[in-house]
Amino acid sequence: MSLEGGPEWSSIAVDDHWIRVFQAGPHQASEAVVFIHGNPGSAADFENLVNQVAPPRRAVAFDIPDFGQSIAAPGFKHTQDEYANFIGDALKALGIRRAHLVLHDLGGPIGLQWASTHTGQVASVTLINTGILAGYKWHRTARVWQTPVAGEILQAAAFRSMFRRVISNQEPKGLPRPFVDEMYDNYDRRTRRAVLDIYRDMKKVGRTSKNLIPLLAAANIPALVIWGAGDPYLPASFADRQRSAFPSAQVHIIPGSGHWPFIDDPPAVIELLTAFLDSVE
């Protein structure tokens, strides 16, 4: 890895995982803005944001195991516990001792589970269409993924044309075709299996966000909440509810935006995120 701080893609070993990383800014800094993507997604989702917040900061995005171009260790079961533990291992491997977490979609439950037991290592949290989801009812596609056989059939039928149509048609502004196509290119057999495993694990375990609220609220971590008003998967009504775990949170709902506001309205997200990071450093 270079020391100068230019944007750079690389791969690193995290225990027995092989992980793709994108970062910019001072690569040896022990404090960093850390982006954790959702499903479907990868570190590439955040390439623009990484470039916008660094330098002077160090900013890092990585593919979680078996998403994007990362390869999980043999025997990895794609459970929420394993993914949360992986976050800590990845930060250690990257030499990051204090993190400004930026979480989206599935990155929310994974990142917040880790953060709830490592609050001293968390400088701030930014939640983008994710967070504490107590009382959330799974969206239709998630319910299919959680159903044996039906989930496998749906994954096998997810051809590029169907994927484009389902993803884009539900978004208020649609999504750029190159962005959707890159998501599909990374949505290979390993990722499809990982999706089924983690969604079924979250249903089986029945873990609720309520368990995390007292741990996070007691730490009163600085927080920014950004939510697309037209999110078809996670209703924007959950945005204000994040204050249960983050009492001093700044909450912003972006009109006309969907599940990926950093893609369909980058200027709004960049302005909010950079101003917030400036305020907490």
pLDDT tens figures, 86-125 = 999 999 999 999 999 999 999 999 999 999 999 999 999 9
Establish whether the linkage from the previous residue to 172 is cis, with ω within 30° of 0. Answer: no
Q: What's the Cα-to-Cα distance from 277 to each of 50, 90, 125, 240, 272, rounded to whole Å?
A: 13, 22, 10, 20, 9
pTM of the full predicted structure? 0.95
Cα 113 to Cα 172: distance, rounded to the nearest angstrom? 30
pLDDT at residue number 76: 97
pLDDT at residue number 116: 96
Is the pLDDT assigned to residue 134 strictly greater than 90? no
Which residues, in sequence order, are CB contacts of 35 under 8 Å at separation 6+? 43, 45, 46, 49, 50, 59, 60, 61, 102, 104, 107
pLDDT tens figures, 42-76 = 999 999 999 999 999 999 999 999 999 999 999 99
pLDDT at residue number 136: 87
Cα 190 to Cα 187: distance, rounded to the nearest angstrom? 8
pLDDT tens figures, 4-50 = 567 999 999 999 999 999 999 999 999 999 999 999 999 999 999 99
**First and final C-alpha spacing in the chain:** 25
Mean pLDDT estimate for the chain: 94
Q: Which fold has domain 8-137+207-280?
A: Rossmann fold (3.40.50)
The percentage of the chain sitting over the pLDDT mark of 70, rounded to a whole number, equals: 96
Q: What's the Cα-to-Cα distance from 230 to each of 4, 17, 115, rounded to whole Å?
A: 40, 36, 28
